[in-house]
Structure 1
Amino acid sequence: MSYEMIAAAMFGSMMLMLMTGQRVFAAIGAVAAAAALALWGTGGSDIPFSAAMKLMNWYPLLTLPMFIFMGYILSESKIADDLYRMFHVWMGPIHGGLAIGTIGLMVLVSAMNGLSVAGMAIGATIALPELLRRGYDKKMVTGVIQAGSSLGILVPPSVVLVLYAMIARQPVGQLWLAGVIPGLIMATMFILYIAIRCRLQPDLGPVLPKEERNVSTAEKLRLLRAGILPIVIFAVMMIPFINGWTSLVESSAVGAMAALLAAIIKRRMNREVFENSVRQTLGITCMFMWIILAALGFGAVFDGLGAVQAIENLFTEQMGLSPWMILILMQLSFLVMGTFLDDTAMLVIVAPLYVPLVQALGFDLIWYGVLYTITTQIAYMTPPFGYNLFLMRAMAPPEITLRDIYGSILPFVCVMVLALALIMAFPQIALWLPETVYGK
Structure 2
Amino acid sequence: MSLTLITLIVVFGFLLLMALGLPIAFCLISSSIIFGLFFWNANSLYVIGTTIYSVSSKEVFLAIPFFVFLAAVLERSGIAEDLYDMFYKWVGRLGGGLAIGAVLICTIIDAISGLGASGIVTIGPIALTEMFRRGYNKHMALGCITAGSALGPLIPPSVIMIIIAGFTNLSVGKLFAGGLVPGLLCSTGFIVYIVIQCLRKPEMGPPISEDVKITWEDRIKSLGSVFLPVVLIVFVMGSIYTGIATPTEGAAVGAFGALCCAAVNRKLTFHNLYLAGLSSVKVTCMVMWLLIGGSLFATLLNAIGVQDALSQILKGIERGYGSMAVLIIIMFIVFVMGMFIDGAAITVLSMPIFFPVVVSAGLDPLWFSVLFTINICMGYITPPFGMNLFYTKGIVSSAISMEDIYWSIVPYVAVMIIVLILMVVFPEIVLWLPNKLIQ
TM-score (norm 2): 0.95
Could you tell me which residue of structure 2 aligns to residue 249 of structure 1? 248
SS at match of 2:340: coil
CA contact (8 A) 2:294 2:345 kept: no
CA contact (8 A) 2:367 2:427 kept: yes
Q: Give the whole-Å Cα distance in 2 for the aligned partners of 1:142 and 1:65.
A: 30
Could you tell me which residue of structure 1 aligns to residue 80 of structure 2? 80
Q: Give the whole-Å Cα distance in 2 for the aligned partners of 1:237 and 1:388.
A: 25
CA contact (8 A) 2:96 2:204 kept: yes
Structure 2: where are the runs of 5+ without partners? none
CA contact (8 A) 1:28 1:349 kept: no
Say which is worse superposed, 106-115 or 26-35, in terms of deviation.
26-35
Aligned residues: 438
What amino acid is the match of 2:322?
S
Does the C-alpha gap of structure 1 residues 36 and 175 become closer, same or farther in structure 2, counting only changes over 3 Å?
Answer: same
CA contact (8 A) 1:339 1:387 kept: no
CA contact (8 A) 1:111 1:230 kept: no
Does the C-alpha gap of structure 1 residues 318 and 180 become closer, same or farther in structure 2, counting only changes over 3 Å?
Answer: closer
Q: Give the whole-Å Cα distance in 2 for the aligned partners of 1:5 and 1:428.
A: 43
The Cα shift of 1:6 comes to 2.8
Q: Give the whole-Å Cα distance in 2 for the aligned partners of 1:230 and 1:137.
A: 30
Structure 1: where are the runs of 5+ without partners? none
The Cα shift of 1:317 comes to 2.8
Could you tell me which residue of structure 2 aligns to residue 309 of structure 1? 308
Say which is worse superposed, 315-324 or 377-386, in terms of deviation.
315-324
Could you tell me which residue of structure 2 aligns to residue 55 of structure 1? 55
Say which is worse superposed, 271-280 or 216-225, in terms of deviation.
216-225
Could you tell me which residue of structure 2 aligns to residue 231 of structure 1? 230
For 1:352-363, list aligned pairs within 5 A.
Answer: 352-363=352-363
Could you tell me which residue of structure 1 aligns to residue 194 of structure 2? 194
Could you tell me which residue of structure 2 aligns to residue 432 of structure 1? 432
Say which is worse superposed, 306-315 or 280-289, in terms of deviation.
306-315
For 1:99-248, list aligned pairs within 5 A.
Answer: 99-212=99-212, 214-248=213-247
What amino acid is the match of 1:225?
G
Does the C-alpha gap of structure 1 residues 293 and 96 become closer, same or farther in structure 2, counting only changes over 3 Å?
Answer: same
After superposition, the CA RMSD in angstroms is: 1.8
Q: Give the whole-Å Cα distance in 2 for the aligned partners of 1:381 and 1:263.
A: 30
SS at match of 1:153: coil
CA contact (8 A) 2:89 2:218 kept: no
CA contact (8 A) 1:380 1:389 kept: yes
2:294 aligned with 1:295, yes or no? yes
Give the share of equivalent positions with the same residue, in percent.
33
Q: Give the whole-Å Cα distance in 1 for the aligned partners of 2:3 and 2:295.
A: 19
Q: Give the whole-Å Cα distance in 1 for the aligned partners of 2:384 and 2:210.
A: 41
CA contact (8 A) 2:237 2:250 kept: yes
The Cα shift of 1:60 comes to 1.9
Could you tell me which residue of structure 2 aligns to residue 393 of structure 1? 393
Could you tell me which residue of structure 2 aligns to residue 329 of structure 1? 329
Deviations 1:9-47, CA, capped at 9 Å, x for gaps: 434543453355321111111111122212221110012
2:38 aligned with 1:43, yes or no? no
Q: Give the whole-Å Cα distance in 1 for the aligned partners of 2:176 and 2:264.
A: 29
Could you tell me which residue of structure 2 aligns to residue 415 of structure 1? 415
What amino acid is the match of 1:109?
I
Say which is worse superposed, 340-349 or 187-196, in terms of deviation.
340-349
The Cα shift of 1:80 comes to 0.8
Does the C-alpha gap of structure 1 residues 240 and 381 become closer, same or farther in structure 2, counting only changes over 3 Å?
Answer: closer
Deviations 1:182-230, CA, capped at 9 Å, x for gaps: 0001101110000010011001111111132x32323212211112211
The Cα shift of 1:326 comes to 2.2
Say which is worse superposed, 255-264 or 336-345, in terms of deviation.
336-345
The Cα shift of 1:296 comes to 1.5
SS at match of 1:211: coil
